[in-house]
Every structure is written in C-alpha cells, then in structure tokens.
Copies of this chain bind each other. A is one copy, B any other.
C-alpha cells in the first residue's frame, strides 16, 4: 500500500484490519508457545497448531509462512515474555549486586514455574545443538542476549567496587547458568525436592565469594550461610 493513500483510511480502517490480524496472530502464537513448551520446538508444526487452535492449516499458514518461521516467532515471543518477567523488573533494583541478585532470583522463580511446562531455551538448546540453521541461530541469539545482560550486571558490580576487581565476569556467569540448569534438571526430570533452595544457596555463596571484603569492624555485607 502506498503512503499516498487517503489519510482517513490510514488512520481508521487499516489499523483496525491490522489489529484484527495481529490479534489472531497473537492467539496462534500463544497456542504455539504452549505446544512448544510441552513438545519442544521440534514438536511444532502448522498442522498440529491448526488442530490446537481449531483453525484451518491455510489460516495458520497465512500468519506463519513456514514451520521454520513459526519456530522463530515462538522463540522471539518466549524471549519477549522472559524479558518482561525476569529482565525488566530486575532493572528497578539498584545497580550492581542487588540487580544481579534480582535477575537470578526471578530467573530461578521462572524456571520453577516452568517445572510443569519446560523452558524453551533449555530444551531448545538440546534439540538444536546439532541442527545448524536459522532456528538454531535465533535461539542462540536470544540466549546470548540474556547472557550478555547478566554479564553487564556483573561488570557493573565490579566497576562499582562491590565485587572484587579480579572477578572473572564470564566465569561467574558460567557458574550461575550451571545452577539454573541443575535446578531445571533436578526439579523437572528427577523431581528432587529442594532443588530451588540448593540453587539459591549456591548463588549466595558465589556472590559472597566475589564481594569485596568489608572493612574490619564493619558488618560484612554477606547473607548468613544457611
């Protein structure tokens, strides 16, 4: 459509049409996200989605031109929700250790909620680790964006003098990520009770290890070791 279309049409009819289309797309995406959480990204198909949503295959196809496009849209939507739930709220915490703690605690909480549905980042990494292509690339880009955000929070804690200057930000990130993966494994696959507390306890010890020692006489800014 040309930008020379009458102004009235641009501001009323077109947005309404767009809105309806967007709402349908959002509804399909919502079902696709549930399906992928349960069956994995590889369990997604235009056919399965048509069945779940009660739409025709061609109806679904009109919104997502291919299975690959659908998988990528699901990954982006998952990332958007993850950011809304984990990343943005934690930005309200003051920078440095409080923010890092906020990010980790919300991440833990989200993985705990996902015990019954599954984390697309974690299951997707296993599904696509030997399948190169645009779906793997989209997934890796989202995981990388999240890891970059965590690394920035760690670096702020170093720059602000809260963490020791010799803190290896990528090493700390690696260890934090390991705790989340172990939590997901134990809570979801092994159904071991107490995994959430184990992840939190290990994180507290990890933070304590990197904190700059408090000056003699001052209360140490550490949580008591449970």
Q: What residues of chain A have their CB less than 8 Å away from a CB belonging to chain B?
A: 38, 40, 116, 118, 122-123, 125-130, 140, 143-144, 170-171, 174-175, 177-182, 185-186, 188-190, 195, 198-199, 201-202, 205, 209
Contacts and interface: CB of A to CB of B under 8 A. Distances in A.
30 contacts: A118-B126, A118-B130, A125-B185, A125-B189, A125-B190, A129-B189, A130-B188, A140-B190, A143-B190, A144-B190, A170-B198, A171-B198, A171-B201, A174-B186, A174-B198, A174-B199, A174-B202, A175-B179, A175-B182, A175-B198, A175-B202, A177-B182, A178-B179, A178-B180, A178-B182, A178-B202, A181-B181, A181-B185, A205-B209, A209-B209
A26 B134 CA distance: 38
Chain A interface, >50% SS class: helix
B130 A126 contact: no
B178 A38 contact: no
Nearest to A117: B130
Contacts of A144: 190
B185 A182 contact: no
Nearest to A186: B174
B118 A188 contact: no
Contacts of A188: 125, 129-130
A126 B129 contact: no
A144 B189 CA distance: 11
